[in-house]
């Protein structure tokens, strides 16, 4: 009996000590120096970690009292899971980067705070700061009229085309297609078949795998919609999938594959597309500006970049990640995080980030810097992304955005694989989207 008691006491003792030990770590911070935790979505050891480490060191050199500790949290989805876990453990990161499309979830769940207070406190300077962001990127920072995030690592879709292939079929390599009709015409000329009728080179390529189809589709929907209307309402509570214009846009994809036979059938992976382009298997591809460095390093032919061909108007999707500041931390820490965000989004920093990573700098004044001018002189193809921004709009963004992406992807694929017609696919997508969004209306 006594032994049992002793054992019990011992076990209880160990548990108590472990608990005290764990709590002790929290109490130790008593110095006036502040350490901010910054969740950044990248794999530990990835190439961007060096740049982010440098960013926080540079900041500390100017602000010795504030240390920014980056925590590398995997991909965007992993980062949300880790933020959630940290919040439940009552230890949220002070600020973090996540998709602009997550802002409705971040706001409605109380994970992030609106930043209007800080902007107002900065007075005229604050106003000028926000106005300097390009509207195509700034547009998806708002939730119910409040600013919840600051654009940082943003991207957009452009067309990469093979100039040598253009010359080969007698097209002017400096005149890429500008309309859907020209796209079909050019792609038909560029598609090359061998004697047996097998395709050696497709005219145009689009990635239709899950996670990419919805991005490319945003561009085509914007080009075809009435007045450039997007796939969703601005408040993120409604999706507009089954409009006749969107059905047409999807039908155009199917026609490229089945009617004109200038695009590979089935589903091409996002990551395979640049490889196929570099291998000369496809002459024009729709891809992210982030691939520019890869393509310019590896292309054995002259290549150009171009606006996405328009239809009723020009249009292109934007994407990428923004800064958010956490709720549930002290106002002093929130203020310190705000100062860091302004530092990281200064025109020169963003220009350098653009050059180093291929993301597009989201501020207008970044493009007036000498850094950027030198870069464009070296790499003229980079300029297109910036010039196209006035026609670009945010990708599909609603409440529960990742679920909505999946719905659109699944249904686009059902049309591509012939399970449904374009009209049926968009109708199904609409019904499934309404089901998810009804609780927010």
Q: Which residues bind other proteins (CB under 8 A)?
A: 1, 3-4, 7, 77-78, 80-81, 84, 87-88, 105, 108-111, 196, 198-199, 208-211, 264-269, 272, 275-276, 279, 281, 400, 402-403, 406, 409-411, 413-414, 416-417, 419
Least distance (Å) between residue 273 CB and other proteins: 10
Output 266 or 380, the one with its CB closest to other proteins: 266
CA gap 235, 145 in Å, rounded? 9
Least distance (Å) between residue 206 CB and other proteins: 12
If you count DSSP H runs as helices and E runs as strands, how many of each does the chain have, helices first? Answer: 19, 12
CA gap 399, 106 in Å, rounded? 9
CA gap 215, 318 in Å, rounded? 8
Least distance (Å) between residue 218 CB and other proteins: 18
Output 376 or 440, the one with its CB closest to other proteins: 440
CA gap 220, 224 in Å, rounded? 6
Distances (CA, A) of 305 to 158, 215, 411: 7, 18, 30
Output 10 or 57, the one with its CB closest to other proteins: 10
CA gap 393, 143 in Å, rounded? 16
Nearest to 306 by CA among 131, 175, 201, 400: 175
Output 155 or 257, the one with its CB closest to other proteins: 257
CA gap 441, 434 in Å, rounded? 10
CA gap 357, 271 in Å, rounded? 17
Least distance (Å) between residue 38 CB and other proteins: 20
Output 20 or 196, the one with its CB closest to other proteins: 196
Q: Where are the beta strands (DSSP E) in 142-253?
A: 142-143, 146-147, 150-162, 192-193, 199-205
Output 250 or 360, the one with its CB closest to other proteins: 250
Least distance (Å) between residue 374 CB and other proteins: 36
Least distance (Å) between residue 5 CB and other proteins: 11
Nearest to 363 by CA among 151, 157, 156, 120: 151
Least distance (Å) between residue 208 CB and other proteins: 8
Output 188 or 209, the one with its CB closest to other proteins: 209
């Amino acid at each position: 009996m006594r032994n049992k008691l002793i054992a019990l006491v011992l076990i209880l003792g160990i548990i108590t000590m472990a608990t005290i030990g764990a709590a002790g770590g929290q109490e130790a911070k008593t110095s006036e120096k502040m350490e901010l935790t910054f969740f950044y979505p990248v794999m530990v050891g990835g190439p961007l970690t060096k740049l982010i480490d440098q960013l926080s060191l540079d900041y500390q050199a100017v602000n010795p009292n504030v240390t920014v500790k980056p925590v590398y949290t995997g991909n965007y989805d992993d980062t949300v899971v880790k933020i959630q876990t940290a919040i439940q453990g009552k230890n949220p990161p002070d600020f973090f980067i996540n998709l602009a499309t997550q802002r409705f979830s971040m706001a409605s769940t109380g994970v992030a705070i609106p930043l209007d207070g800080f902007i107002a406190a900065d007075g005229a300077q604050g106003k000028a700061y926000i106005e300097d962001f390009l509207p195509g990127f700034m547009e998806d920072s708002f939730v119910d009229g409040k600013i919840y995030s600051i654009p940082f690592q943003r991207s957009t879709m452009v067309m990469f085309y093979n100039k040598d292939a253009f010359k080969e079929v007698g097209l002017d390599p400096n005149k890429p297609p500008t309309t859907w009709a020209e796209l079909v015409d050019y792609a038909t000329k560029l598609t090359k078949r061998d004697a047996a009728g097998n395709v050696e080179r497709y005219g145009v390529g689009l990635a239709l795998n899950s996670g990419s189809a919805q991005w490319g589709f945003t561009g085509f929907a914007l080009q075809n919609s009435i007045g450039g209307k997007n796939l969703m309402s601005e408040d993120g509570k409604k999706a507009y999938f089954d409009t006749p214009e969107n059905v047409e846009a999807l039908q155009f994809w199917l026609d490229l594959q089945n009617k004109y036979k200038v695009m590979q059938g089935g589903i091409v992976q996002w990551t395979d597309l640049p490889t196929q382009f570099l291998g000369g298997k496809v002459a024009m591809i729709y891809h992210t500006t982030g691939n520019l460095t890869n393509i310019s390093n590896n292309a054995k032919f002259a290549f150009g970049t171009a606006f996405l061909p328009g239809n009723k108007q020009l249009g292109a999707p934007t994407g990428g990640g923004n800064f958010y500041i956490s709720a549930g931390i002290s106002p002093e820490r929130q203020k310190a995080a705000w100062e860091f965000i302004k530092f990281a989004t200064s025109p020169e920093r963003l220009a350098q980030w653009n050059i180093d990573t291929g993301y597009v700098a989201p501020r207008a004044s970044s493009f007036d810097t000498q850094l950027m001018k030198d870069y464009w002189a070296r790499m003229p193809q980079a300029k297109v992304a910036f010039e196209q921004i006035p026609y670009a709009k945010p990708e599909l963004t609603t409440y529960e955005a990742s679920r909505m992406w999946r719905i659109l992807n699944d249904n686009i694929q059902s049309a591509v694989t012939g399970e449904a017609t374009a009209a049926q696919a968009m109708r199904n997508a609409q019904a499934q989207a309404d089901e998810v969004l009804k609780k927010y209306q």
